[in-house]
Amino acid sequence: MKKKFLIIIGIALLSSYSCQKSKLYPALPTSVSNQDGAPFSTPSRILAQVYGLYAAMGSGQFMGGRYQVYNDVKADNWINSTANSVTAYQTWTETVTPTSSEVLNLWAQCYSTINDCNLFVDGMKTYGTAIVGSATATYYIGEAQYIRALSYYALLDMYCQAYSVSAGATPGVPLRLVGNSAYGNFALAPATVAQVYAQIITDLNAAENALPSAYYTTGTTLDATSNTIRAHKNTAIALKTRVYLAMGQWTNVVTEANKIVSATAPFTAPTGVPFALQASIANVFKSPYTTTESILSVPFTSTQAPGGQNALADYFNSTGTGEFYINASSALMTDPTWAATDARRGFLVKNGTKTVLTKWALGSPYLDWANVMRYSEVLLNLAEARVNLNGPTDVQAIALLNAVRHRSDPTTTFATATLASIYEERNIEFLGEGLKWADLLRLGLPIPAKGNVSAIPVAAFNSSYIWPMSGNEQQYNSLIGR
């Protein structure tokens, strides 16, 4: 009797155990393992990864809004109204510390994007090229290189001294070109600013070579959406004009810009995606957001919104929290040459006593696309480089400047293109779009006073002028050295 029971129980135990052992190694139900090249196992997974790189870049913490916000509010065009330290208040007051949320988060998101690009490039070499074929693989890798370059540029813009300071010999950021996927020792000293710029140019040159000249829906019909939300040849070239301008390499700006700007008005890109100014600037900020002026934008949909406290409209428009409003006493707002009839003033709307910017008009969940780069910037980049090379009477420079002005204000015509007038045009044209700080930095200009915040001199590039490096990087990267 006893034996029988023991045997029955024993059998029950053994059978139940043997049936269940595979449960110790469960399959992932909602994600893809990173082992054995699983993310590169099918063409659709690889394409999804390409979109994933843009999504990382387009995070609300980065190009999806906050990068532009930080660049704009660090300068003098805005007054903070909420004193909220998680929505760029310290950037506005120039009091960020290494542990300020914006300093930590932008750094982390840039490098997360860079690592995704690195992992993708590595994985394409090992697994992916064989799956999609080398032609497609080249395109994809070019997109990764473009996004990596843009991310490194953003880091230099916020965390480092200008290239003009000792030709970039100052400390830059850690330069990482190999993907990291597991626990390991990742201490790495920063490269110099010049070395990081060199890598950006290397990536953009490679991307220019690798990328398709345009995306098509069918045959030769341009796919306007893809051409706005994905990088193609001209996207890479356009970014080079921004990068070379930041480096003060005027000849290179001209060389690159000439590839995508015709010699005379109306200025357009002669090859690839035909970049051109829109007749009305308002069209750029309207659905479907895919004009040929939009070189690159971050798209949003109701299922992929910029997220809380990230959206441009949430900061600059009154449709959200209204974190910032226009500084009525800034140089921009007191500029007598900015005509009252200028179409760009149409974006400035009184909301009570405050003036807000309505380029991004939609309220929560803020589905207006976030501009990363517009064609008018390329035109002004080229103009500025030409004036630096040839002086304010450069004919093409004058034409370029007038092209941007006339589009919004046909009544004002520049006879000469002084650098000051080009800077001012940029200030007017890109209000809210995140170029103002980059301009101050590369030109070595102090940050003007605003509201109750004093002017910040360039001085020794201390942390009130440029951002300090991420506190987490300083703590966990023993070789960072700053």
Q: Interface residues for another protein in 81-120 (CB under 8 A)?
A: 81-86, 95, 97-99, 101, 104, 107-108, 111-116, 118-119
Least Å distance, CB 425 to another protein, is 26
Least Å distance, CB 429 to another protein, is 22
Q: If binding means CB under 8 A, how many residues of this protein chain bind another protein?
A: 111
- Peptide bond just before 266 cis, omega within 30 deg: yes
Binding mask 346-375 for another protein (x = CB under 8 A): ---x-xx-x---x--xxxxx----------
Least Å distance, CB 278 to another protein, is 21
For position 453 contacting another protein by CB under 8 A, the verdict is: yes
Could you give the CA distance from residue 408 to residue 405 in angstroms, rounded to a whole number? 6
Binding mask 307-346 for another protein (x = CB under 8 A): ----------xxxxxx------------------------
Instruction: Report helix, strand or coil for 297.
Output: strand
Q: Is the distance from CB of 258 to CB of 234 less than 8 angstroms?
A: no
Using the minimum distance from each CB to another protein, give the nearer residue, 199 or 402: 199
CA 366 from chain center: how many Å? Answer: 18
Q: 7, 11, 130, 187: which one contacts another protein (CB under 8 A)?
A: 187
- The interface with another protein within residues 24-43 (CB under 8 A) comprises 24-26, 28-35, 38-39
For position 128 contacting another protein by CB under 8 A, the verdict is: no
For position 163 contacting another protein by CB under 8 A, the verdict is: no
Using the minimum distance from each CB to another protein, give the nearer residue, 13 or 331: 13
- The interface with another protein within residues 214-273 (CB under 8 A) comprises 225, 229
Could you give the CA distance from residue 271 to residue 262 in angstroms, rounded to a whole number? 10
Q: Is the distance from CB of 175 to CB of 114 less than 8 angstroms?
A: no
Using the minimum distance from each CB to another protein, give the nearer residue, 195 or 262: 195
C-beta atoms surrounding 139 within 10 Å: 19
Binding mask 400-439 for another protein (x = CB under 8 A): ----------------------------------------
Could you give the CA distance from residue 168 to residue 366 in angstroms, rounded to a whole number? 38
H or E element that contains 20: helix 2-20
For position 55 contacting another protein by CB under 8 A, the verdict is: yes
Q: Is the distance from CB of 243 to CB of 153 less than 8 angstroms?
A: yes
Length of the chain: 482
Rg of the chain on CA atoms, in Å: 25
Could you give the CA distance from residue 461 to residue 449 in angstroms, rounded to a whole number? 17
DSSP-derived letter for residue 167 is G
Secondary structure of 196-218 in HEC code, one letter for each residue: HHHHHHHHHHHHHHHCCCCCECC
Least Å distance, CB 117 to another protein, is 9
Least Å distance, CB 316 to another protein, is 12
For position 180 contacting another protein by CB under 8 A, the verdict is: yes
- In 3D space, the residue among 244, 290, 199 whose CA is nearest the CA of residue 384 turns out to be 244
Q: 186, 209, 341, 410: which one contacts another protein (CB under 8 A)?
A: 186
